[in-house]
A = this chain, B = another copy of it.
C-alpha cells in the first residue's frame, strides 16, 4: 500500500491507459481460461476483478497483472476431473474451494516466511514444465477449435466451426508476427468482436458461449470440509507452488527493469490474498499472468492502480455487457488459448541449456516428458525430484585434481591444464566438492588412485580451497585415511582450510593429529615441505 500514500498525479495517465489496455486483453483470456478449466466463462470474469484489488493491497510488484492463467486452468481441470463432471455445481464448488485452499496455503507460507521455496524449481524444470503443459493445453483445444465432438475422429470436424477457428488462429498468429508492440496485443479482442458479430449476423450454427449471468455472485467465504481438504491439498499445494514461481519470475524480470525490489514473502501474501478474494467472489485459482503483466508494463503502468482500473472496467462489463458475449464462438476462445500458450514452448531455452549443461537439459526434457506422459502434477514432482537428484549426483562424483605451482606466482593449478611445477615426493591434490556422506567413499578411492599412480609419494597435501564443509561421515573417512596413510609411510598435510571449517576441525581427533601439518596456503605448504624434503 506504500504506493498509494506516495502516489503522484503524473502517474495517473499511464495507470489509466494500462488498466484499459489490459482489460481488452483480459476479457478474451479470462473467458478462454475458464472454459479450459472446465468452468462456465463468467467464472473467468469473476477471477479477474477482486483478485486484482487484493493483490494491489498486499503485493509488492508495481506491474504484475493477476488473474486466470492457462497453466493453473489446466492444473485445475486435471485436479477436479476425477472428482466431478466439468460444469456441474459440485465441480464449480470444488474449483472455488481449490482457490480458497491455495490462497490459505500461500498466506500460511507468507506467515512462515517460506518465500525461498520458489528457489527449488530450477529454470530448466520450469521451462520443461511450461512446455509440456503448453503442449497438453494445445492438444486439448484442437476439438473446440475444429468443432470435433467428444469421442469423434479428425474427419468429424464441423466445417463452419473449423473455418472460424482456423481463420482466427491465422489472424492471431499473423498479428503476433507482423504487428509489433501494443497494437498486436489488441488482436484477440478484435477477433472476438468480429467473430461474435459474424456469428450473430449470419446466424451461424456453431457452439457459442451463450447466456452469461450478469453481476458478481454474492460474496461468500467458502469453508472447505475436512474431506475436501484431504482430496485437494496436493493439487492446491502444486497450484500454489507453480503459480508462485510463475508469478515471481514475471514480477522479478519486470521489476528488475525499473530497479524495483520484489520481496518473495510479501509476494506470497499478495497471491494468497488474491486467491482468497477469487474464492470469495466465485472464481478459481489465479496468479500473475506473464502476457498481461508485460502488456501492463509496456502500456505505462506505474502502480497497481492500473489493476484497480482494470477491475472496475471488468466489473462494469460484468454488470451490463454480458449479453454481448452470447454469440462468441468457442472456436475463437480455443484459438486465443493456442496462440497464448504456444509462446510458453521455448525451444531456444532447450537449445541453449543443452549447449551449456547436458544435465540441466536432461532435467528440462524429463520434466516436459513427465508432464506429457504422467500428468501435470506428476510432472512438477518429477522435475523437482530430478533437479535435486542432479545436484546430489554431481556432488557425489567430485573432481580431484593434481596441482602444481604456476611458475613465477604463488598460485596452484591443475597440472593437466597448466604448465605447473611440482615438488618431488609431494602430491598436491585439490578436491572440488564439499565432503559429505555421499562422496566420502569416492574421495577416498580417488585419493588412493592418485597415490597409486605416483608410487614415490611420501607426502600428500590436500588443498581444501573448494571444500566448504566436511560432515561427520567424511570426517570419519579422513580420520581413517590419515591413519591408513601413516601406516604406509605417507604423511598427510592440509592447506587452504577455510576459517569456519578450521574451527570445527581443530578440536577433533583428526584436527589434533594434524595440528602442525595445516598450512595457510598451498604455496607455504610447498615451501615448507619442499625445503624439508
Complex formed: what's the CA distance from A414 to B353 in Å? 34
Q: Does chain B have a CB within 8 A of A140?
A: no
Q: Is A121 an interface residue (CB 8 A)?
A: yes
Quote the shortest CB–CB distance from A408 to chain B (angstroms).
Answer: 11
When all copies of this chain in the complex are counted, the total is 2
> In chain A, residues 376-423, which have Cβ atoms closer than 8 Å to a Cβ of chain B?
387-388, 391-392, 394-396, 398-399, 406, 409-411, 413-414, 417
The stretch that binds B, out of A71-79, A266-274, A497-505, is A497-505
Q: Which residues of B contact A398 (CB under 8 A)?
A: 468
Q: Which of B119, B469, B472 is close to A122, meaning CB atoms less than 8 Å apart?
A: B472
Instruction: Tell me whether A504 and B356 are in contact in the complex, defined as CB-CB below 8 angstroms, given that A122-B436, A436-B391 are known contacts.
Output: yes
In Å, the complex CA distance between A360 and B435 comes to: 13
Instruction: Say yes or no: is A516 at the interface (Cβ < 8 Å to chain B).
Output: no
Answer whether A521 and B436 are a contact pair too, CB < 8 Å, given A484-B256, A507-B355: no
Query: With A122-B472, A437-B123, A438-B119 known to touch, is A391 a contact of B395 (CB < 8 Å)?
Result: yes
Tally of contact residues, A, Cβ under 8 A: 66
By a CB distance below 8 angstroms, the chain B residues around A399 are: 468, 500
**Contact assessment for A523 and B411 in the assembled complex, using a CB-CB cutoff below 8 Å:** yes
The reply to whether A441 and B256 form a contact with Cβ atoms under 8 Å apart is no
B472/A124 in contact, CB under 8 A: yes
Query: CB of A11 within 8 A of chain B?
Result: no
Give complex CA distance A276, B417 in Å. 50
Complex CA–CA separation, A499 to B403 (angstroms): 12
List the one stretch of A149-157, A195-203, A473-481 in contact with chain B. Answer: A473-481
A432 interface residue, CB < 8 Å from B?
A: yes
Asked whether, in the complex, the Cβ of A520 is within 8 Å of the Cβ of B122, the reply is: no
Q: Does A15 contact B (CB under 8 A)?
A: no
Interface: A471 (CB within 8 A): yes
Which residues of chain B are within 8 angstroms of A504 by Cβ–Cβ distance? 356-357
**B-contact 0/1 string along A428-464, CB 8 Å cutoff:** 0000111011111110000000000000000000000
A409 in contact with B472 (CB, 8 Å): no
Determine if A223 is an interface residue (Cβ-Cβ < 8 Å).
no
Known: A399-B500, A499-B417, A504-B357. A437 touches B468 (CB 8 A): no
* A475 neighbours in B (Cβ, 8 Å): 356
**Given A475-B356, A520-B406: A480 and B256 within 8 A (CB)?**
yes
Closest to A360 in B: B472
* Residue pair B437, A121 in contact (C-beta under 8 Å): yes
Residue positions of A touching B, CB distance < 8 A:
116, 118-125, 256, 264, 352-353, 355-357, 359-360, 387-388, 391-392, 394-396, 398-399, 406, 409-411, 413-414, 417, 432-434, 436-442, 465-469, 471-473, 475-476, 480, 484, 498-500, 504, 507-508, 520-521, 523-524
Please list 6 pairs of residues, one from A and one from B, whose beta carbons are closer than 8 Å in the complex, sorted by A's number: A121-B437, A264-B441, A392-B392, A406-B520, A409-B524, A410-B410
A-B contacts besides A391-B395, A406-B521, 6 pairs, CB < 8 Å = A359-B471, A360-B471, A388-B438, A391-B392, A409-B520, A432-B498
